[in-house]
Chain A
Amino acid sequence: MTAPATASVLAPRTRARLARMPPVLLLAPALIAVTFLLLPLLGLLVRTPWRDVGAIMTDPAVLEALRLSLVTATLATGLSLVLGVPLAWVLARPRFRGRALLRALVTVPLVLPPVVGGVALLLVFGRRGVVGGPVFDATGWSLPFTPAAVVAAETFVAMPFLVLTVEAALRGVDPRYEAAAATLGADRWTAFRRVTLPLVGPGVAAGAVLCWARALGEFGATITFAGSFPGRTRTMPLQVYQALDTSPATATVLSLLLLAVSVLVLLALRERWLRGELRDTR
């Protein structure tokens, strides 16, 4: 075979392989990024005082924080489901003016520094707050610095994750299924409950897991709005922060625990997404 005069000296296969290889200008920063992201996590593993893990994990203060975290994150997720799924439906289905604006407002907590969220919550629900003031005057009860405030702060920060996930899932459901349900005699509520909701079930589950993970790790809004009272509002992330001064070993072990939870959540979602993809291609 005689090659044309302009052909490269490289064999075609070599040329093809080179074309598939990412350019070094992209590859090098990508490698640095991976290292930067993974190194701290490795450091956490390396510095974990494995011999003390048992003692730290049975420390009453730690157990208290763990219990509080699990309970409040779960409650916040429940609250987000009850309020957030209907909100996702409103954003996905009916057409109305200002829907885009509403979606933007709802997602503000996603990008808002959590501490700002905490301050805002205080301004509204505090003893002298817009809503909290009259409530305190009438009943003598106020929300901030209670376990309920932890739930409120976590819900504020985590619910948008659920709303956006469920909304995307709702958009993926052919609205003609709802039309078909209507022709079969289902009113809109029945159609939602018996057709739409089961079809977005995987999306709701993924959204709930994301929401729960975000609530579990919530720090800024919680410490601002609920404070850090042991046994009442001191959740795991707050306990980690607290321990950093007094007992770095405890901070490390608790961080490792939170890291493990994150990895589990990621695996759960990955499984979810994989199955979703498989179903779509069927």
Chain B
Amino acid sequence: MSLTAEVRLHRGELSLDVALESADGETLAVVGPNGTGKTSLLLALAGLIALDAGRVVVDGRTWEDAGAGIRVPTEQRELGVVFAEGLLFPHLSVRDNVAFPLRCRGLGRSEARRAADDELERLGALGLAGARPRQLSAGQAQRVALARALAGRPRLLLADEPLAAVDAAASAPLRAHLREQLAAHTGTALVVTHDPVEALVLADRLLVLDGGRVVQEGSPLEVARRPRTPFVAGLMGVNLIRGWAVGRRLKAGSGTELVAAEAVGADGPAYASIRPSSVALYPDRPFGSPRNVWAGTVSALDVLGDRVRVRLEGDVTVVAEVTPEAVAELVLEPGVSVWATVKATDVTLYPQ
């Protein structure tokens, strides 16, 4: 089961040009800022938006080929889609919602209902079978939406922000459930999300979209360690510094040099990535083993759970992650000058 697609289309301000390929049973996550074409890509694969150019081939079947004038209608594409809002049919019970794709494939009413019950049981939601969609919590509704999308044994499973409408407490178990189901799904799956955790947990491969183009592609680990755009860096919560690498050193735009433990392959334009938790702050210039020391001014503070993210403007602009105790002891507030240090081993250097 494979997916090959080239999607080119224009919709208002958006111009989308994406090529993607996916092998057997792989889960792709498409991440990117809002309005960058993630959902349009998903709708195009589903056949709900026509391509201006390009093609979509699933399991050797051509679903769409703009050049050849081929366009298989959505209902014949053997798809499953989990929408952000679930879109369960409000007039049907959970059981009949899940039976819907089966009935569309020609099963009789009682046969489809039995199969729907089986599917619900497999997904641990048989207890909801008799309920109406409006009686479900957002998390339950998405579970049912997933069961409905999978019930027809789709060749391609698409999910558009499947956890967006679910509150934080319910999203963790649902995410685990989703990962299980995606792993069990033999066809290709494509999940559109703006949530980095969701992308990292669910995906075998990450596709970063910005301005309608793929700006980075790779395993979640690779993308998290070596982001290539400020957006990805922000998404993954790491500092990205652009500069010119010579050996183990990166000359940043401001003239400050950062030292890494390992050299980048060839000298030239490069990135350094630094995790916020690797940045230590001092009230006075420290003397010690860290190779990277520079001065900066606190410009903003963000509380993030039991950590505080401190934004530092200076020779190198970075975000440091410290404890609330440290904020209190160093009296960190906007305008305060501090020194930042990072060990060379905590700086990852890679070419642009």
* Interface positions of A (Cβ within 8 A of B): 174, 176-177, 179-187, 190, 194-195, 198-199, 201, 282
- Across the interface, do A187 and B91 meet the contact criterion of CB distance under 8 Å? no
- Across the interface, do A190 and B104 meet the contact criterion of CB distance under 8 Å? yes
* Known contacts A182-B48, A184-B148; is-contact A194 B83 (Cβ 8 Å): no
- Across the interface, do A187 and B75 meet the contact criterion of CB distance under 8 Å? yes
Whole-angstrom distance from the CB of B348 to the nearest CB of chain A? 41
Whole-angstrom distance from the CB of B46 to the nearest CB of chain A? 6
Does B81 lie at the interface of the complex (its beta carbon under 8 Å from any beta carbon of A)?
Answer: yes
- Across the interface, do B79 and A181 meet the contact criterion of CB distance under 8 Å? no
What are 27 of the A-B contact pairs (CB < 8 Å)? A174-B87, A176-B85, A176-B87, A180-B81, A180-B87, A180-B89, A181-B89, A182-B48, A182-B73, A183-B46, A183-B74, A183-B81, A184-B80, A184-B100, A184-B101, A184-B148, A185-B75, A185-B105, A186-B75, A186-B100, A187-B73, A187-B75, A190-B75, A195-B91, A199-B89, A201-B91, A282-B134
- Across the interface, do B134 and A182 meet the contact criterion of CB distance under 8 Å? no
Q: How many A-B residue pairs have CB under 8 A?
A: 62
Q: A-facing mask of B87-102, CB < 8 A → 1, else 0?
A: 1011110000000110
- Across the interface, do B48 and A179 meet the contact criterion of CB distance under 8 Å? yes
For A176, give the chain B residue with the smallest CB separation: B87
Whole-angstrom distance from the CB of B42 to the nearest CB of chain A? 10
Q: A-facing mask of B52-80, CB < 8 A → 1, else 0?
A: 00000000000000000000011111111
Does B187 lie at the interface of the complex (its beta carbon under 8 Å from any beta carbon of A)?
Answer: no
- Across the interface, do B75 and A177 meet the contact criterion of CB distance under 8 Å? no
- Across the interface, do A186 and B83 meet the contact criterion of CB distance under 8 Å? no
A residues near B149, Cβ cutoff 8 Å: 183-184
Chain A at the B interface: mostly helix, strand, loop or mixed? helix
Instruction: Give the docked Cα–Cα distance between A180 and B73 (Å).
Output: 13
Does B152 lie at the interface of the complex (its beta carbon under 8 Å from any beta carbon of A)?
Answer: yes
> Which 5 pairs from chain A and chain B are nearest by CB?
A185-B104, A184-B101, A182-B74, A183-B81, A180-B87
For A282, give the chain B residue with the smallest CB separation: B134
* Known contacts A190-B104, A194-B100, A282-B134; is-contact A183 B79 (Cβ 8 Å): yes
For B87, give the chain A residue with the smallest CB separation: A180
B residues near A182, Cβ cutoff 8 Å: 47-48, 73-75
Whole-angstrom distance from the CB of B186 to the nearest CB of chain A? 18
> Looking at the complex, which one of B89, B101, B103 makes contact with A177 (CB distance below 8 Å)?
B89
Instruction: Give the docked Cα–Cα distance between A162 and B226 (Å).
Output: 62
B residues near A187, Cβ cutoff 8 Å: 73, 75
* Known contacts A187-B75, A282-B134; is-contact A181 B100 (Cβ 8 Å): yes
For B151, give the chain A residue with the smallest CB separation: A184
A residues near B80, Cβ cutoff 8 Å: 183-184
Instruction: Give the docked Cα–Cα distance between A194 and B97 (Å).
Output: 11
Whole-angstrom distance from the CB of A181 to the nearest CB of chain B? 7
Whole-angstrom distance from the CB of A187 to the nearest CB of chain B? 5
Instruction: Give the docked Cα–Cα distance between A185 and B89 (Å).
Output: 14
- Across the interface, do B48 and A184 meet the contact criterion of CB distance under 8 Å? no
Whole-angstrom distance from the CB of A189 to the nearest CB of chain B? 10
A residues near B74, Cβ cutoff 8 Å: 179, 182-183
Residue among B74, B80, B85, B148 having the largest count of chain A Cβ atoms under 10 Å: B74
- Across the interface, do B91 and A199 meet the contact criterion of CB distance under 8 Å? yes
For A186, give the chain B residue with the smallest CB separation: B104
Whole-angstrom distance from the CB of A67 to the nearest CB of chain B? 36
> Looking at the complex, which one of A176, A190, A199 makes contact with B83 (CB distance below 8 Å)?
A176
- Across the interface, do B152 and A184 meet the contact criterion of CB distance under 8 Å? yes
B residues near A180, Cβ cutoff 8 Å: 81, 83, 87, 89
For A201, give the chain B residue with the smallest CB separation: B91
Instruction: Give the docked Cα–Cα distance between A185 and B134 (Å).
Output: 23
- Across the interface, do A184 and B87 meet the contact criterion of CB distance under 8 Å? no
